């Protein structure tokens, strides 16, 4: 990757290939995960009308009074409302927390009830909307992991293309989280003193991102010093590799830094987005992936679990919360 990388170089992958030409789909996704760790996905299977309704409900929620939102503030499991400035993603360089507020949903049961929290009325009224989105994001991530297992040529004797799936079951205790985010307009004049989301990499295996109307997301490609915008492309979602999968794959797949900035043309506008953070089960040991494309460990390698990996990250980002 060079410093001349541009937005147009971010791959756009047609996910209808998953049904028609799985080996080609696998190779394209593997290349994107190896070279950049970020890519667009079209023909992803999400219903645009449902997404519009979801964004409408999110806006209604964040338009409520601060006091109302605080009634469902983040709990010990990191689910619930996160206040403006409460999260500090770039804790090494940021002087103040991110200029955003968000709400984290836990996973849902078969009745569309959340497993680890009580929802505020505006979300509870439409809980099936958020439950469906959470489960569809999870299914999409499982399919992406299938393609990676195919591309990694994991032997059938080890599980083949399904090797990752049992380690990411929806019924497993994990850090999976559907997050809805509101980035209010800035009140700071100097662009350098405030940010919508500080520079960070994600914590789990994969992330699914839905952007709406207002951009500002930027990525820092591997071995590059230049931030690159990730523009909104109609009918596409953004997928990125997260830290756990990079760690697990011995660095083959790249989890890169990204941020959300105040752009001069949209700094006075509200921005909304939805992210699904996809994690391995908390008790899953991040030992070697049985692929000839990934270096095997020596006998002295110490393994950690996905839950331990996540907790290390959360402790840093939320150090001023708990």
- Residue-wise pLDDT for 227-239, tens only, equals 999 999 999 999 9
- Which structure tokens are listed for 85? 């400035």
- What the block records as the tokens of 270 is 């509200």
CATH number at residue 19: 2.60.120.330
Mean pLDDT of the chain: 89
Q: How confident is the model at residue 20 (pLDDT cuts 50, 70, 90)?
A: very high
Q: Which residue has the tokens 């890519």?
A: 39
C-alpha 24: how far from its chain's center? Answer: 24
Alpha carbon separation from 45 to 135, 220, 250, 282 (Å, rounded): 12, 28, 31, 28
> In whole angstroms, what is the distance from residue 198 CA to residue 155 CA?
40
Is residue 197 within 8 Å of residue 100, measured between CB atoms? yes
234 in a domain, yes or no? yes
2 inside domain: no
pLDDT over 90, % of the chain: 69
Domain annotation covers residue 290:
yes
Query: What was the pLDDT predicted at 55?
Result: 97
In this structure, is residue 304 part of a structural domain? Answer: yes
User: H helices of 63-202, where?
Assistant: 66-70, 121-124, 127-151
The Cα–Cα gap between 211 and 94 comes to 24
Q: What is the pLDDT of residue 320?
A: 46
CA distance 279 to 207: 9
| Nearest by Cα to 162 from 150, 171, 177, 178 | 150
Residue 132 lies inside a defined structural domain of this protein: yes
Q: Is residue 322 part of a domain?
A: no
Asked whether residue 187 carries a pLDDT value surpassing 50, the answer given is: yes
Q: Is 177 within a domain?
A: yes
Other beta carbons less than 10 A from residue 48's beta carbon: 9
* For range 126-138, the mean pLDDT: 97
Locus of tokens 């760690």:
247
Q: Give the pLDDT score at 315.
A: 73
- Total domain count for the chain? 1
Residue whose C-alpha is closest to residue 315's, from 78, 116, 74: 78
Q: Could you tell me the two tokens for 116?
A: 């680890």
Packing angle of the helix pair 48-62, 127-151 (nearest 10 deg): 120
- Answer for the pair 39, 29: CB distance below 8 angstroms, yes or no: yes
Residues of the domain holding 154: 7-317
Helix (H, G, I), strand (E, B) or coil at 88: coil
Q: Is the pLDDT of residue 119 over 70?
A: yes
Distances in Å between the Cα of 172 and the Cα atoms of 44, 67, 165, 190 are: 24, 34, 11, 45
Summarize pLDDT for 269-299 with one digit per residue, the tens.
889 999 999 999 999 999 889 999 998 876 6
pTM of the model: 0.93
| Residue 309 included in any domain | yes
Residue 46: per-residue pLDDT: 96
């Amino acid at each position: 990757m060079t410093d001349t990388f541009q937005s147009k170089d971010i791959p756009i992958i047609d996910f209808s290939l998953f049904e028609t030409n799985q080996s080609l789909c696998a190779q394209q996704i593997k290349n994107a995960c190896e070279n950049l760790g970020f890519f667009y996905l079209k023909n992803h299977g999400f219903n645009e009308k449902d997404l519009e309704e979801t964004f409408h409900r999110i806006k209604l929620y964040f338009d409520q009074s601060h006091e109302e939102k605080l009634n469902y503030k983040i709990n010990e499991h990191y689910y619930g409302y996160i206040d403006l400035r409460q999260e500090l993603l770039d804790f090494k360089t940021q002087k103040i927390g991110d200029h955003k507020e968000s709400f984290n949903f836990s996973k849902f049961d078969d009745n569309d009830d959340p497993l680890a929290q009580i929802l505020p009325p505006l979300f509870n009224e439409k809980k099936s909307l958020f439950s469906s989105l959470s489960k569809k994001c999870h299914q999409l991530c499982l399919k992406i992991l299938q393609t990676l297992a195919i591309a990694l040529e994991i032997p059938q004797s080890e599980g083949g293309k399904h090797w990752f799936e049992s380690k990411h079951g929806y019924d497993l205790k994990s850090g999976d989280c559907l997050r809805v985010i509101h980035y209010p307009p800035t009140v700071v004049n100097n662009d350098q003193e405030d940010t919508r989301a500080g520079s960070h990499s994600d914590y789990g295996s994969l992330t699914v991102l839905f952007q709406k109307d207002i951009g500002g997301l930027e990525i820092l490609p591997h071995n590059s010093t230049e931030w690159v915008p990730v523009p909104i492309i109609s009918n596409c979602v953004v997928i990125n590799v997260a830290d756990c999968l990079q760690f697990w794959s011995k660095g083959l797949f790249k989890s890169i830094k990204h941020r959300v900035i105040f752009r001069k043309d949209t700094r006075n506008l509200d921005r909304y987005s939805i992210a699904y953070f996809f994690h391995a089960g908390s008790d899953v040991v991040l030992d070697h992936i049985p692929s000839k494309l990934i270096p095997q460990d020596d006998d002295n390698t110490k393994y950690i679990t996905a839950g331990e990996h996540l907790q290390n990250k959360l402790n840093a980002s939320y150090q001023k919360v708990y």
